[in-house]
Structure 1
Amino acid sequence: MMNIQTDLFHTVEDLRRQPLVVAYGLGVDSTAVLVEFQRRGIRPDAILFADTGNEKQETYDYLPVINAWLLSVGFPLVKVVRHFPNKSKKWPEYSSLGENCLTNATLPSLAFGFKSCSLKWKVLPQNIWVDRWLLAKRFWRNGGKVKKVIGYDASPKDMKRYYKVKGMEDEKYEYWYPLVDWGMDREACKASIRAAGLPVPPKSACVFCPATQPAELREHKREYLRLIVMMEARAKHRLEGCMSSGELLQDFERRLSEWEVKVRASSGKRLEILLNKRPVLKKVGAGCAGLWRKATKERPAMMTDFILSEGLLPVHEVEFLQKRVPVEIERNLLAFAEGGRVVNWHDFLEMFTEEDAIDELGHSCGGCVFG
Structure 2
Amino acid sequence: MNELDQLVAAAQADFAAAATPAQLENAKARYLGKAGRITEHLKALAALSPEDKKAQGAAVNAAKQRIEAALTARRQQLAEAELQAQLEAEALDVTLPGRRRGMGGLHPVTRTMERIEQIFGSMGFDVADGPEIEADWFNFTALNTPEDHPARSMHDTFYVEGGHLLRTHTSPMQIRYAVQHVKKHRAVLDAGGSMPDIRVIAPGRTYRVDSDATHSPMFHQVEGLWVGENVSFKDLKSVYVSFLREFFETDDMRIRFRPSYFPFTEPSAEIDMMFNTGPLKGRWLEVSGSGQVHPQVIRNMGLDPERYIGFAFGSGIDRLAMLRYGVNDLRLFFDGDLRFLSQFK
Q: TM-score range by the shorter chain?
A: under 0.3
Higher Cα Rg: structure 1 or 2?
Answer: 2
- TM norm structure 2: 0.22
Higher helix fraction (1 or 2): 1
TM-score (norm 1): 0.20
